[in-house]
Amino acid sequence: MDDTSGTAAVHFDFSGVRVLVTGGTRGIGAAIAAGFHAAGAQVLITGSAPDAAGYEALPPHAGYLQLRLSERGDIQAVAASAGRIDVLVNNAGGTGGAFTPYDFDTAVSVNLNAVFHLTEGLADALAGSRVRGGASVVNLASEMSLFGSPYFYGYGAAKAAIVQLTRSFCVSLAPRGIRVNAVLPGSIPTPMTNPFAEDPGVHKMVCDATPLARWGEPREIADAVMFLASPAASFVSGHTLVVDGGYSIMK
């Protein structure tokens, strides 16, 4: 069966679970927020705009907090106001633009430093969780965690470091009952990657290099995130789950 869109492929139950998804306004983050909501969770999302009115459409029934990844004050404010959090999904991030990528320092600040500081800031909130399977953090890595690119020095360095940061937090937060994992997506069409996804040559190149011969869907990344946050993964921590249709095996 080739069910790559719509609702979760398996049934998760996150009733009563409070989930914070950074960058939940669109793309993969919006799919993660929608997936958790459909599974019964209370979902908070963040975005760069001052309030939810700054967006045409947001995932259903999600609370909204402003979090500009480069602003330490925003990170502290979110950590202080989020309340009890059972699952933190560090999804927000990006290249800064397909044709005008962030400079190195900004890319690292947005994609790495913010993840470190937000996770530290929410550690007490996560440690107070009593959910089945334990509280957890799921970080979004990238194929750029694995491969070099002359266009995305900072993004690649930051995403490689996310894999290592995941392992370090796995060790430091385990005594507090918090599991920490990462998902490493392949090529997923979103506002960030649409310039590539909509280019027929790039689209075909990705399909040709992928054993499953297609791009993934945001929902397929959401499913992997929900698995890692669920009681089904209660003994999984420090792991990076590659969800790329086999691309990184072939490359």
Q: Which stretch binds ligand NAP (CB under 6 A): 119-127, 136-144, 201-209, 224-232?
A: 136-144
Q: Which residue in 64, 102, 155, 247 is the catalytic one?
A: 155
In this structure, which amino acid lies at residue 169? F
Q: Does 94 bind ligand NAP (CB under 6 A)?
A: yes
Cβ-based nearer residue to ligand NAP, 93 or 133: 93
CA distances from 237 to 187, 213, 225, 249 (A): 24, 30, 13, 23
Classified as helix, coil or strand, 229 is: helix
Residues 169-188 within binding reach of ligand NAP (CB under 6 A): 185, 187-188
Q: Which stretch binds ligand NAP (CB under 6 A): 8-16, 122-130, 140-148, 222-230?
A: 140-148
Q: Does 112 bind ligand NAP (CB under 6 A)?
A: no
Residue 184 CB, shortest distance to ligand NAP, in Å, is: 7
CB-count exposure of residue 56 (10 Å: 0-12, 13-18, 19+): exposed
Residue 140 CB, shortest distance to ligand NAP, in Å, is: 4
Classified as helix, coil or strand, 178 is: strand
155 noted as active-site residue: yes
5: left (phi over 0), alpha (psi -120 to 50) or beta: beta
Helix (H) or strand (E) holding 241: strand 240-243
- Taking CB atoms, the residue at the shortest distance from ligand NAP is 27
CA-wise closest residue to 182 among 231, 133, 227, 219? 227
Mind telling me the catalytic residues?
A: 155
- Contact residues: ligand NAP, CB under 6 A: 23, 25-29, 47-49, 67-70, 91-94, 110, 140, 142-143, 185, 187-188, 190-193
